[in-house]
Structure 1
Amino acid sequence: MDGRKDGKSSGYTAQSPVSVVCKILAIFLLLAGVTALTLWLVYRPSKPHFSVVGAAVYDLNATAPPFITTSMQFTIVTRNPNKRVDIIYDKLSAYVSYRNQQITPPVYLPPLYHETKSTVAMSPVLGGGPVPVSVEVVNGLVVDETYGVVGLRVVLLGRLRWKAGAIRTGRYGVYVKCDVWVGLKKGFVGQVPLLGSPPCKVDI
């Protein structure tokens, strides 16, 4: 007898290189997902907070056909509530709307780097050349100035990234809406009182 055991195998089946690569890739993706989830749970970035704390009106005139010429300045305070995550803003712009119609051309703001637990104030001057509007806007403005209360919306648009150490996220669109009510009579120029300024709504 030659000692061989016919009909029996060693129980070992060689794996193909493709199968090995797939398993390694699956393990890598699983570990990467767990790492990303852990980082998210640890840092968990929160939305920034925005509020309007001051306003000035230097020009607000309507002409026929209906155009509005404006020059306004708003002091906007933004706070980064995160303890571990900085916020980087890119391509920020701002404009003012009245009765859901834009009454100032967009003004582009400089890039902003917002460190953790910090507060930044900015005071852009918004306005410029005449902007075409509807008759409803012109008539509404006349009525509101007569009563001395004008409701405006300051809008900021742009993109932001969160940064934690050396890690930066991709860019996310940010849309900030700040509804304010100012005390304004026709012909008045200068700092105007804020009669109402709730926290801005931030969409990311």
Structure 2
Amino acid sequence: MSKDKHSNDPRRAACTAITIFLLLAGVTLLVLWLVYRPHKPRFTVIGAAIYGLNATTPPLMSTTMQFSVLIKNPNRRVSIYYDRLSAFVSYRNQAITPQVLLPPLHQGKHTAVSVSPVIGGTAVPVSVEVSNGLVVDEAYGVVGLRLIFQGKVRWKAGAIKTAHYGLYVKCDVLMGLKKGLVGPVPLLGVTPCDVDV
């Protein structure tokens, strides 16, 4: 008699139904995540131009640069929104341009877009080591800079949008730059940027 009483217990049946529902929901979420799993974007600097570089008046330095950056969305089912995106240039881990805000960007599924921000124009304070190092590198003809993007990113799959995630991109750029050269400068090798989300 006690066996029949336990097999017809409504609480036990409810617990079994809830357990089966949670397992099915978990499997469904896992399958959806595997199918729509967002991958981080890929950034590559493909061109650079220098329109002004004055490192001879420490502690202030002014420069105007433009970089062409190719951004690829590797996701076949997910689009990407870039919000509050900004960029600046650093040399020896010190900013040599002010931060420039870029317009928001929406990138469709499995597409590539090129952005060409003009960065600089305003003098910024730098250390003597930075201005001296830049003068020496410029005289040598090879300058290594770091282009940095910061912002917020979110993904969209169908009608579902994720929350905002912090985006930090650093692009190490090695350029052939001689003193007095204005306009496009050759890149000495093209390497993909490091992207952290």
TM-score using structure 2 length: 0.89
Q: Counterparts in 2 of 1:130-145, with a 5 A limit? A: 130-145=123-138
Q: Does 1:77 align with 2:66?
A: no
Q: Judge conservation of contact 2:107–2:113 (CA < 8 Å) in 1.
A: yes
Which stretches of structure 1, 4 residues or more, deviate above 4 A after TM superposition? 8-11, 13-16, 22-29
Higher Cα Rg: structure 1 or 2?
A: 1
Instruction: Provide the C-alpha distance between the structure 2 equivalents of 1:130 and 1:69, rounded to a whole number of angstroms.
Output: 4
Identity %: 63
Contact persistence 1:178–1:197 (CA under 8 A) = no
- Alignment match of 2:5 (pick from 12, 20, 23): 12
Aligned residues: 195
Counterpart residue type for residue 5 of structure 2: Y
Aligned-residue offset at 1:190:
1.0
Is contact 2:58-2:127 (8 Å) kept? no
Unmatched tracts of structure 1, length 5 or more: 1-7
Give, in whole Å, the separation in 2 of the partners of 1:201 and 1:169.
22
In structure 1, the partner of 2:111 is 118
Q: AA paired with 1:56?
A: A
The secondary structure found in structure 2 opposite 1:82 is coil
Amino acid at match of 1:74: F
Q: Tell me which amino acid in the other structure corresponds to 1:202.
A: V
Amino acid at match of 1:201: D
Output the CA distance in 2 between the equivalents of 1:9 and 1:195. 82
Q: Give the superposed CA RMSD.
A: 2.1
2:152 is matched with which residue: 154, 159, 166? 159
> How is 1:1-204 mapped onto 2 (pairs within 5 angstroms)?
11-12=4-5, 20=14, 28-204=21-197
Q: 1:10 to 1:79 in 2, by over 3 A?
A: closer
CA distance 1:104–1:80, shift in 2 (3 Å): same
C-alpha distance in structure 2 between counterparts of 1:25 and 1:94, whole Å? 50
Q: Secondary structure at the match of 2:188?
A: strand
**Residues 50, 34 of structure 1: CA spacing in aligned structure 2 closer, same or farther, 3 A cutoff?**
same
SS at match of 1:196: coil
Q: 1:3 maps to what in 2?
A: none
1:55 counterpart SS class:
strand
